[in-house]
Amino acid sequence: MTPLLKLNPLARGLTTLYTSALLAGMWSMIVPAVPVIAKSFDISPGAAAQIITALALGRFAGMPLSGTVLDRLGTRAALISGPAIACAAALLAGITPWFSLILVLVFLIGIGESIWVIAREVAGIDLARQDQRGRVLSGFHGINNLGLALGPLFGGLLTEAVGFRAVFFGYAACAVASVLLGSLVTDSQAPALQQTSIKFDWSFAALGRRLRGLKELFEQIDPDLRATYVVLVFATFTSFMHRVTTQSMLPLLASAQLGLSPKEVGMLFTISGLSVFLMILPAGFVIDKVGRKWATVPSTGIPALAFLLIPFAQNFFQLAVLISFLGIANGLSLGSLATSTFDVVPASARGRLQAARRTIAEIGGVAAPLLGGVLADKFNPGVPFLAYAPLLVISALLLSLVAHETLRR
C-alpha cells in the first residue's frame, strides 16, 4: 500500500485537497512574466497587466457556475472539471502568437480556477468538525498561498531562462496533476442534489430568476446574521481587490521604478507567500479558539497601512518588509472570512451562497487591475495602492463595528 492509502480517511482527504490547493496557486507563475509580455508584444505595461484582469474576469464569470456544479453534481465533478479547463487553456496560451487570444485563454483559466476553489473548501468542511473549520480552511488558504509564493519564483526563473511561454506550460502540468488528485476525492454531496441536471440559460428572464433565487437563499440566513453576511461579502471584495492589485501592480512598480529583475520580483511574492504559510497554525488557532473577528479585522487594517507605504518604498528590502505584512494579513483573512461565512449560511445553500460571496468579491478582482492599469499608465504604478487604501479602512471598520462574532463557544 502507498503511504497515502495508509492514512486515515480525514488525513488522506486533507492531504489530497491540500496538495491540490498548492498546485492551484501555481498560476502565479504568470505574474513576473507580465513586464516581459509587455515588451514581447510591444504594448504598455498597463495593458499587459490586464492578464490579471482577464483571470479575475474568468473567476467572476465562473463563480455562479461553480456553485451550481458543486451543489448539483458534487465535489468530485468540480475538482476534476476545474483544473481540466485550466490545463487546456494554459496549453493553448503557451503557443498562441496573439496577445488578445492569450487574454481570452487566461479568462478560461480563471473559470477553471473558480470551480476548483469552492469545491476544495466544501470538501474540506465536509471532512472536518465545526470546531475544526478555522484550522482546516486556514490550512487550505495557507497552502494555496504557498503555491502563490512559489509560482512567481519559478515563473521568474522560467521567464529568464526560457521565455514567458514556459510559465503557461508549467502551470498546465500542475493542473494535470490536480485532475488526477480530484478523482481520488470522496464525493460528499447529497444524492438528491446530484440527480438534478444543469441547464444554462443566459437570457434576461433567466437572470431575473437567478437573482430572485439568490434573494430566497439570502432569506434563509438567520435575520440576525444577514448584516454579518453582507459585511463578509464586502470584506472579501476588498480582500480580493488588494491581493489582485498587488499581483498586477507590484511587478510594474518594482520593474519601472526600482529596476528589479523578474527573478527579484518573483522573490517578493515568495516572501509574501511564505508569510502566509507561517500564519497557518496561528491563524487557525485564533479563528477557532479566540474569535473570528480577531482575524478578520486585522486582515483588512494591515493592508490599508501597507498600501499607503508601498508607493514610497526605495529598494527591495523595504518592499519585502511591506509585502511580508501583506502576507500576514492574507493569512488571517482567507481562512477567517470563509469560516465566518460557513458559520452564517445554511447547509442547504452553502455552495451557492459561498459562490455568491466570491462572485461579488471577484468584481473587486476585476475592477482593481483594470482601473489600476489606467492609473499606472496615466500617473505611475504606485498610485493604485494609494487609491484603494480607503476601502480597506472602511472594511476594517465594518468588520469591527457591524459584523457579529460567529464563533460558537
Average pLDDT over residues 64-82: 74
Residue in 62, 100, 99 with CA at minimum distance from that of residue 81: 62
Residue with cell 480517511: 9
Torsion of CA 45, 247, 275, 343, to 10 degrees: 170
Nearest to 72 by CA among 199, 247, 215: 199
User: Are the C-beta atoms of residues 349 and 217 closer than 8 Å to each other?
Assistant: yes
Structural domain contains residue 336: yes
**What pLDDT is stored for residue 346 in this prediction?**
79
The total number of structural domains in the chain stands at 1
408, part of any domain: no
- The CATH number given to whatever domain includes residue 23 is 1.20.1250.20
Write out pLDDT tens, residues 135-146: 777 777 778 777
Which range is least confidently modeled, 243-252, 281-290, 345-354, 375-384?
345-354
User: Do the domain assignments include residue 248?
Assistant: yes
Helices H / strands E in the chain, number of each = 18, 0
Instruction: List the domain range (segments joined by +) for residue 237.
Output: 7-186+217-401
370 within a domain of the structure (yes/no): yes
Whether the CB-CB separation of 340 and 296 falls below 8 Å is answered with: yes
Mean pLDDT of 79-92: 88
Contacts of 376 (CB under 8 A, 6+ apart): 45, 46, 49, 249, 252, 383, 384
Q: Is residue 198 part of a domain?
A: no
In a domain, 193, yes or no: no
Residue position matching grid coordinates 494555496? 144
Q: Considering the domain boundaries, does residue 209 fall inside one?
A: no
State pLDDT tens for residues 333-357: 767 887 888 788 877 666 677 778 8
Residue 2, in any domain of the structure: no
Q: What pLDDT was estimated at residue 244?
A: 81
pLDDT of residue 384: 87
* CA–CA gap between residue 125 and residue 78 (Å, rounded): 15
